[in-house]
Structure 1
Amino acid sequence: MSDKSQQKKSQLLVSRGNKNEDTIIKVKQTVIGGSSQTLIAGPCSVESKEQLVTVGSTLKKSGLSVLRGGAFKPRTSPYSFQGLGEEGLKMMKGVADEMGLVTISEIMSSNQIDTAAKYIDIFQIGARNMHNFDLLKAVGQTKKPVLLKRGLSATLEEFMLAAEYILHHGNDQVMLIERGIRTFETATRNTLDISAVPILKQETHLPVLVDVSHSTGRKDILLPCAKAALAAGADGVMVEIHPDPTNALSDGKQQLNMEEFQTFLDGVRDSGLYH
């Protein structure tokens, strides 16, 4: 990159050159970024109130406060489960309000913003929409925190520039999340780019998290990957959990059941990396 390009890069709103101190995002009683890490968990898709009650109760008993769940689902196949839409968001809000949880759910288009804003605390922009610039501009005009996922084959520069769209339009409450990138490797669903964590932490002031479920697609390596993410300096980890993964309507193979999640959580906490 040329010196001129580097100068421009250091002037970006997302860059350390523009703001040296870490951005800290506060939602209700939850703090993301700064001196502590956050563990976010929940089902790939919202399926029923009973499912959310089970998951929410598990989070609350475990001392966790952030529930994720998909209501609008971007799926590769048009025949796959597309989510419950607004009804799913209503379920999430009901359970979250009852249990004092913060909610994260994905929106796929700008016309979903007003509806989703009534029910959820944090907008998620998924990997497939990282380059949906109209959506980035629209969430930039809201006051809701945004969790932005790295695109399937996006460079870190492209990832940071996608976040720049949101900040440029007025919303500085942005979190970045590495969720694996597409490579030639087939042993995992995607390839977890751990190097993205220290690079993004060095070059931006935004909180950086890692989605170990989507990056690996494998239950058996979620714990070591979560440890690696925290060791690299991640501000948090996202993991998918489900009361009955075998019968999940989406991504069952990568979701932990409640017993597996407890083992995962114990492993993360016993590692000495999570605080």
Structure 2
Amino acid sequence: MQIDQLNTWRKDSKKPFVMAGPCSAESEEQLFETSKALYESGISVLRAGVWKPRTRPNTFEGIGVDALKWIQNIKQELGPDVQFGVEVATPQHVEESLKHGIDILWVGARTSVNPFAVQDIADSLKGVDVPVLIKNPINPDLALWIGAIERIYQAGIKKVGAIHRGFSSHKKSKFRNIPSWQIPLELKREIPEMPLICDPSHIAGNSDFIYDISQKAMDLNYDGLIIESHRDPKNAWSDAKQQVTPAHLTEILSQLKVRDPKSDNKDFNSHLTELREKIDQVDHDIFNILSERMHLVEEIGQYKKENNVTVFQVNRWNEILKTRAEWAHELGLNEEFMADLFTLIHDASIRRQTQIMNQEEVVENA
């Protein structure tokens, strides 16, 4: 994919691209006041929810086309350098948005999870030159995300970007959507030229966490941020907890540290190479130890088979979880990370022992 860099939106390489605005356009006055405050703080790429896909019916689902007319008026009022982005979920949304001069479109998480819906949007975009951003699907499926990006790209859209807004999960978390940072980073590895934008509002679900998530995105070399901002978040009609005032957003952005992806300092690069070589050696040792562990797992599996004992014993698994958590604590390691790691190791051990249990004995002819 030869994707055009959307980083041309940046006016300063030391600052991230930022798109901001209310979750929902509620009234022309609300949208204008919020947009004006954001614009005066230096943000010229604005967002507004026009159509809102909600979990349940009979809730506020957006103003619709009338909000697009408000956006047209606001762009005329604020000036020619103002751009607006909106979410589209159907070909009709695309048609109306383009008719009303919307500059940027994005495909939401509840749409990107459905290839049929994405293809309908892609077909409606053929022959159009407009930047399109694709949010990750609600479930942690990298292939589905890439597939949505490819469908939009194959429609002839060259300015394509990805938005990381986190993933739904059954796990308890302080976040609304679990970040699962490794998934967008893997997307970046597979499509290096893809501009990657973080949506800390939807990851957080709480304005208290927006700075920390934004800073982590910058530390991971993301290209930009899309943040929900409202003139009066407490009285917002949707997602009130995760929106910030324009003044609060200005404060958050002023505190962000945007670091360089590399350094020209020879001493730094030399020492970094030395440390990475040490990590490579430690990783090699880890692989050797895991190989040794798996050999022991196979030996145990064969022994269980010979003695007609089940593969899984819950008491042993509880013992492993307890002792490994204690070891992690003693060594200053993150206990949640170590629990996740040993769950993966345990799952692989169960699969291997199950294979051994179900292998048929080879009977040699005398």
TM-score range, shorter chain: 0.7 to 0.9
- Deviation for aligned residue 1:145: 1.2
Which string of whole-angstrom CA distances, capped at 9 and with x for unpartnered residues, describes residues 164-199 of structure 1? 011112112111001000112342111113223432
User: In structure 2, what residue type is equivalent to 1:78?
Assistant: P
- Does the aligned pair in 2 maintain the 1:25–1:33 contact within 8 Å? no
- Deviation for aligned residue 1:34: 8.3
Structure 2 residue aligned with 1:259, among 222, 228, 247?
A: 247
Structure 2 residue aligned with 1:62, among 41, 44, 57?
A: 41
Helix, strand or coil for the counterpart of 2:197?
A: strand
Helix, strand or coil for the counterpart of 1:67?
A: strand
Relative to structure 1, the CA distance from residue 127 to residue 263 in structure 2 (aligned partners, 3 Å threshold; closer, same or farther) is same
Helix, strand or coil for the counterpart of 1:171?
A: coil
Which string of whole-angstrom CA distances, capped at 9 and with x for unpartnered residues, describes residues 134-181 of structure 1? 223323542221111111004122211111011112112111001000
Helix, strand or coil for the counterpart of 2:181?
A: coil
- Does the aligned pair in 2 maintain the 1:37–1:274 contact within 8 Å? no
Q: Say which structure, 1 or 2, has more relative contact order (CA 8 Å, 6+ apart).
A: 1
User: Which residue is 1:215 aligned to?
Assistant: 203
User: In structure 2, what residue type is equivalent to 1:129?
Assistant: T
- Deviation for aligned residue 1:54: 1.9
Which string of whole-angstrom CA distances, capped at 9 and with x for unpartnered residues, describes residues 34-74 of structure 1? 88620111000001122222222222222121101011111
Q: Quick check: which one's helix share is greater? A: 2
Instruction: Quote the RMSD (CA, aligned, Å).
Output: 2.4
- Does the aligned pair in 2 maintain the 1:197–1:233 contact within 8 Å? no
Larger deviation, residues 80-89 vs 57-66: 57-66
Relative to structure 1, the CA distance from residue 48 to residue 273 in structure 2 (aligned partners, 3 Å threshold; closer, same or farther) is farther
C-alpha distance in structure 1 between counterparts of 2:58 and 2:260, whole Å: 39
Structure 1 residue aligned with 2:106, among 124, 129, 135?
A: 124
Q: What are the within-5 Å matches in structure 2 for residues 1-275 of structure 1?
A: 13=1, 19=2, 23-25=4-6, 30-31=9-10, 37-99=16-78, 100-119=81-100, 120-130=102-112, 131=114, 132=117, 133-183=119-169, 184-204=171-191, 205-268=193-256, 271-273=257-259
User: In structure 1, what residue type is equivalent to 2:36?
Assistant: S
Using the size of structure 2 for normalisation, the TM-score is: 0.64
How many positions carry a matched residue from both structures? 252
C-alpha distance in structure 2 between counterparts of 1:140 and 1:159, whole Å: 20
Using the size of structure 1 for normalisation, the TM-score is: 0.84
- Does the aligned pair in 1 maintain the 2:131–2:160 contact within 8 Å? yes
Q: Which runs of 5+ in 2 are unaligned?
A: 262-366
Helix, strand or coil for the counterpart of 1:76?
A: coil
User: In structure 2, what residue type is equivalent to 1:107?
Assistant: V
C-alpha distance in structure 1 between counterparts of 2:197 and 2:239, whole Å: 20
Runs of 4+ in 1 over 4 A off after TM superposition: 31-36
Relative to structure 1, the CA distance from residue 274 to residue 95 in structure 2 (aligned partners, 3 Å threshold; closer, same or farther) is farther
- Does the aligned pair in 2 maintain the 1:36–1:235 contact within 8 Å? no
Relative to structure 1, the CA distance from residue 140 to residue 160 in structure 2 (aligned partners, 3 Å threshold; closer, same or farther) is farther
Larger deviation, residues 34-43 vs 243-252: 34-43
User: Which residue is 1:10 aligned to?
Assistant: none
- Deviation for aligned residue 1:97: 3.0
Which string of whole-angstrom CA distances, capped at 9 and with x for unpartnered residues, describes residues 99-136 of structure 1? 23110001111122221102211111111111223223
- Does the aligned pair in 2 maintain the 1:194–1:232 contact within 8 Å? no
Larger Rg: 2
- Does the aligned pair in 2 maintain the 1:197–1:229 contact within 8 Å? no
- Deviation for aligned residue 1:88: 0.5
Larger deviation, residues 136-145 vs 97-106: 136-145
Q: Which runs of 5+ in 1 are unaligned?
A: 1-12, 14-18
Helix, strand or coil for the counterpart of 2:125?
A: helix
Q: Quick check: which one's strand share is greater? A: 1
State percent identity of aligned pairs: 31
Helix, strand or coil for the counterpart of 1:167?
A: helix
